[in-house]
């Protein structure tokens, strides 16, 4: 299966935290950073998350995320992608259906696809790094995130 865009969707982004000035906005502004700046990176915390809010229910096919250009591939692991109608909050594990999973570790300067098979509907797409009892050495680092999907058009039950 290859990932293709019916419509590349965009929305409001938030996160559980941000390391320095590496805020959520930088993961969706449309630019692949070639430095340590202008990308999203959560603080080292137990279960960091990043979410895109669409404001309306979407059919989500999957996501594509891009890693940093250098030196952090080993931190990119245990990434769960959720599609839900409930926003993320706090530092707990997201309790929502799982679209897909990236085990990692990642290569540097790479892109990875996570598919929803079957496609899922929801108002939020949430990526969460689950450290699951480990020391928080893995964290969310997203150079750029693309969400693939389309608005619901009555084709799936609500």
- Beta carbons of 27 and 125 less than 8 angstroms apart: no
The single-letter DSSP state of residue 44 is: S
Nearest to 54 by CA among 138, 104, 120, 108: 120
Q: What are the structural domains, with CATH classification, of the chain?
A: 7-151 (2.60.120.260)
Q: What is the pLDDT of residue 71?
A: 67
DSSP letter, residue 155: S
pLDDT recorded at residue 77: 81
The predicted pLDDT at position 106 comes to: 87
* CB of 55 closer than 8 Å to CB of 11: yes
> Taking the model in full, what pTM does it have?
0.84
pLDDT tens for each residue of the chain, 158 residues long: 333 343 444 568 889 888 888 888 888 888 888 877 888 888 888 889 999 998 889 999 999 999 887 767 778 888 999 999 999 987 777 788 899 999 888 888 899 999 999 999 999 999 998 876 665 566 788 889 999 988 776 544 43
Instruction: Give residue 36's pLDDT.
Output: 76
CA separation for the pair 88, 78 (Å, rounded): 17
Which pLDDT value is given to residue 1?
37
Reported in sequence order, the residue ranges of the chain that DSSP labels E, i.e. its strands, are: 7-9, 12-15, 40-41, 49-66, 79-84, 98-102, 111-129, 141-142, 144-151
**How many CB atoms within 10 Å of residue 9?**
20
């Amino acid at each position: 299966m290859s990932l293709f865009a019916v419509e590349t969707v965009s929305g409001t982004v938030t996160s559980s935290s941000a390391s320095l000035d590496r805020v959520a906005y930088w993961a969706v502004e449309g630019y692949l950073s070639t430095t340590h700046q202008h990308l999203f990176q959560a603080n080292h915390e137990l279960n960091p998350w990043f979410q895109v809010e669409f404001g309306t229910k979407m059919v989500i096919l999957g996501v594509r995320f891009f890693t940093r250009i250098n030196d952090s591939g080993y931190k990119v692991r245990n990434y769960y992608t959720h599609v839900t109608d409930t926003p993320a909050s706090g530092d707990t594990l997201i309790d929502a259906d799982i679209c897909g999973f990236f085990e990692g570790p990642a290569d540097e300067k790479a892109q990875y696809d996570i598919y929803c098979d079957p496609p899922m509907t929801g108002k939020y797409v949430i990526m969460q790094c689950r450290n699951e009892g480990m020391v928080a050495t893995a964290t969310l680092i997203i150079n750029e995130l693309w969400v693939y999907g389309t608005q619901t058009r009555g084709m799936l039950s609500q």
